Amino acid sequence: MRIAIGADHNGFELKNIICEFLKDKKVEYKDFGTYSREPVDYPDIAKIVAEAVARGEFDRGILICGTGLGMAIAANKVRGIRAATCHDVYSAERSRKSNNCQIMTMGAQIIGSELAKMLVDAWLKSEFQNGRSTPKVRKIMEIEKENFIK
Ligand code: RB5
C-alpha cells in the first residue's frame, strides 16, 4: 500500500511522528510537506495530496492540520475523493469499511500522538466491505457528478 501524507504547520510535528510510524510498519509513503512550523495554507497541501490519490498514484492519503476539518473539507473538493476526519478508532474503521474513504484527516490540536498512531493502524487494517454500503457510496459519487460545475 502506498500512502501520500501531508500537513499544515499545525500538523507538522504529528505528521513526522506518523511518518516514523509508517516507516516502522514498513508502509510505503511519500511526505508532501509541509516541512517546518512556517505557516502554510492547508488547502494547498490538501490539494496536492488529494489529487495524487485521485490520480491513482497512491492508494490512500493522510492529512493533518489543527483540527483535521479544513483538510477534510478541502480534500473532499477533489473529484472522486472521500475524506473523513477521524478522532476515534470506530470512525477510522468505518470510514474505510462503510464509506470507502481514501483519505483520513486528523487534528493535531485535538488528539495526542499515541491515539493518532492507533487510528492510523486501525485505518490501515480496514478495507471497504463491498455489500450494503456499495449503493450508498455510489450515490455519493452521483451527487458529485450531478453537481460538477467547471
Ligand atoms: C490554521 O490554518 C488552521 O485553521 C488549520 O490548521 C486547521 O485547523 C484548519 O481546519
- Tens digit of each residue's pLDDT, the chain (150 residues): 999 999 999 999 999 999 999 999 999 999 999 999 999 999 999 999 999 999 999 999 999 999 999 999 999 999 999 999 999 999 999 999 999 999 999 999 999 999 999 999 999 999 999 899 999 999 999 998 888 665
Write the CB contacts of 25 (distance below 8 Å, at least 6 apart in sequence).
Answer: 121, 124
Give the residue numbers annotated as catalytic, written as ranges. 65
**Residue 11 CA: which ligand 1 atom is closest?**
6
Q: Could you tell me if the CB of 8 is within 6 A of ligand 1?
A: yes
DSSP string, 119-146: HHHHHHH----TTTTHHHHHHHHHHHHH
Q: Could you tell me if the CB of 85 is within 6 A of ligand 1?
A: no
What is the strand order of the sheet 60-65 is part of? 28-31, 2-7, 60-65, 103-107, 83-85
pTM of the predicted structure, to 2 decimals: 0.97
- CATH for the 2-146 domain, from 3.90.1300.10, 3.40.1400.10, 3.40.50.720, 1.25.40.10: 3.40.1400.10
- CA–centroid distance, 36 to ligand 1, in Å, is 15
